[in-house]
Amino acid sequence: MSETIDITKAEASTSVESTRIRTGEVGNPFLKASGSWIQNEMRRDLAPPHNLVTYEKMRQDATVGAALGTAEAFLTKALARAKFTTNSKNPEAKEFCDYLNWNFKNLKDNTWYETCINILTYLQYGFSFVEKVYEPNYSTKHSKFTWKLKKLAPRSQHSISEWQYDELGRTVTGLKQYSPQSLNLGLVRGYGLNTNISEVMKRNKFMLFAWESKNGSPVGTSPLNGCYRAWREKTLIESLEVTGVSKGLGGIVVLRVPNEHINKAAEDPSSNEYKTLQALQSQAALMHNGDQTYLLLGSDVQGENGSGKYTYDFSLQGVENGGNSVSTADIINERKKSILDCFGAGFINLGNDATGSYSLADAKTSLHAFFMEKHMLFIQSVIQNDLVKQMMEINRVNLQEDDIPQFELAALDEVNPEEYSKSAQRLAATGLMPRKKDFLMDVLTKCGWNVSSLEELTEEELLKSLANPNDESRVGDGMASGLPAGTGSALGNNSATNMDNKA
């Protein structure tokens, strides 16, 4: 097929420069690389592969660890409870949807929860990848499908030695890994370790989660990049603060030596005075670092009668005038807020200082939810466009786009049963509640009721077991005739004015 097509000039077009256009790709993403690693950062600490170590150091910080841990907790809950759903009436679509959910429940060597943990390492490193491993399907329930997902094998970001691209440098075609370590050396004999590092893991063999990938970069951008400077400043100030405390508590070691000994030591490095000064300085340094608890000095004193000061003297000098008046706590708190704000997790710090309120907490929690929803959409798009499509291809499943099962993550927060039940009551009172089993079961579940005893009932039996609220209760009176804009009185009835019925 030709890579060019003819163009018919539209009436509104005034361009006559070209009557043909190339349909294929012409440009390139212009990615810069060093040793096959994409270089998208000017700072060396954040440039791959050095950034992997930097991120691990940042993770050890209490504030960074709290921000990452909060994000991981929310996303792990949503991802671990995710499932494939479909609204299609096509029986093949429903069958394939059940098969996908069955695969996630029957992984080998690692569970779906463990897979979620490994996928979410992109929050720290900027990217993560898991290898897709398949095996023949021997299930009698889903015998129609040839291949099943055996496991989503975790792979370390540190294991990558090289990214592979096509000839034009536009698309990632695979990667190479370093030779694995001999974990069972000396315990297992007769089985040679596979050290073939030349084998390329092709792109269709692994799922790649590259967060905020720019220009098709496979390494993505770690959320920690945004708070790197705040973390460096925070750790520096904390280090200076600890040093200042140690000097304030222990004092600074001060040695007093006669001037003539100092002058002799400066003139002749081979003199005894020089050796004595070197020994004193070494002992003072060890004492200041806490590696030595004593200092050996001569007992000679000044003056002929032996009542003068010691020739060699030692003292601990404290900080005069109270030191600097700068508050390190305020500076550190500002850096903490900057780090937490990078993850939209500022609500974690509420209550740790003098400010805070319920309304502020709600606003910050809502902001964090937006951050998490963006991550949920990202994970959903990767699994939907990679794993689901490949499962369809290897099992020869042909479905229309609207019939393909969708990977749906669970909600970040549970529904408030009290508010939800009030909403359900209003729908039922006004006759807007659909009398369908699936809908009613969902309503009862969200209201906090155990519906296991109702699952075997048919829709007719379930509806028959439900009492008509207008027969035995006046729950609908306030809605039907008591509203100020309705047909009843302006004040309504007792049900309408009941504060407990207001959400």
489 vs 447: CA distance, rounded Å: 32
- CA atoms of 168 and 29, how far apart (whole Å): 10
CA dihedral 222, 223, 227, 228 (to 10 degrees): -10
Secondary structure of 287-319 as H, E, C letters: HHCCCCCCCCCCCCECCCCCCCCECCEEEEECC
Band (pLDDT 50/70/90 cuts) for residue 14 is low
Do 215 and 29 form a contact (C-beta atoms < 8 A)?
yes
- CB distance 68 to 342 below 8 Å: no
Q: 50, 34 in Cβ contact below 8 A?
A: no
Predicted TM-score (pTM) of this structure:
0.72
469-496 residue pLDDT tens: 444 455 555 555 545 554 445 555 555 5
- How far apart (Å, rounded) are the C-alpha atoms in residues 314 and 253? 7
d(CA 194, CA 84): 37
DSSP state at residue 153: E
Q: For 228-257, what is each residue's pLDDT tens digit?
A: 999 999 999 888 887 776 666 556 778 888
163 vs 8, which has greater pLDDT?
163
Which among 344, 401, 337, 349 is positioned nearest to 375, based on CA atoms?
A: 344
CB contact at 8 A, 410 and 81: yes
pLDDT score of 24: 83
Give the C-alpha distances (Å, rounded to integers) separating 199 from 160, 209, 498. 12, 22, 72
**pLDDT band per the 50, 70, 90 thresholds, residue 188:** very low
How are beta strands 33-34 and 37-38 bridged, if at all?
Answer: antiparallel
Give the whole-angstrom CA distance, residue 211 versus residue 291: 46
Computed over every residue of the chain, the mean pLDDT equals 81
Q: Is residue 500 pLDDT above 70, yes or no?
A: no
Give residue-wise pLDDT tens across range 116-161.
Answer: 999 999 999 999 999 999 999 999 999 999 999 999 999 999 999 8
With H, G, I as helix, E, B as strand and everything else as coil, classify residue 163. strand
pLDDT of 261 higher than 70 = yes
pLDDT value for 498: 60
Give the pLDDT confidence score for residue 187 in this predicted structure. 46
- pLDDT value at 395 more than 80: yes
- Kindly report the number of other CB atoms within 10 A of residue 343's CB atom: 22
Is the Cβ–Cβ distance between 99 and 146 less than 8 Å?
no
Chain centroid to Cα 237, Å, comes to 26
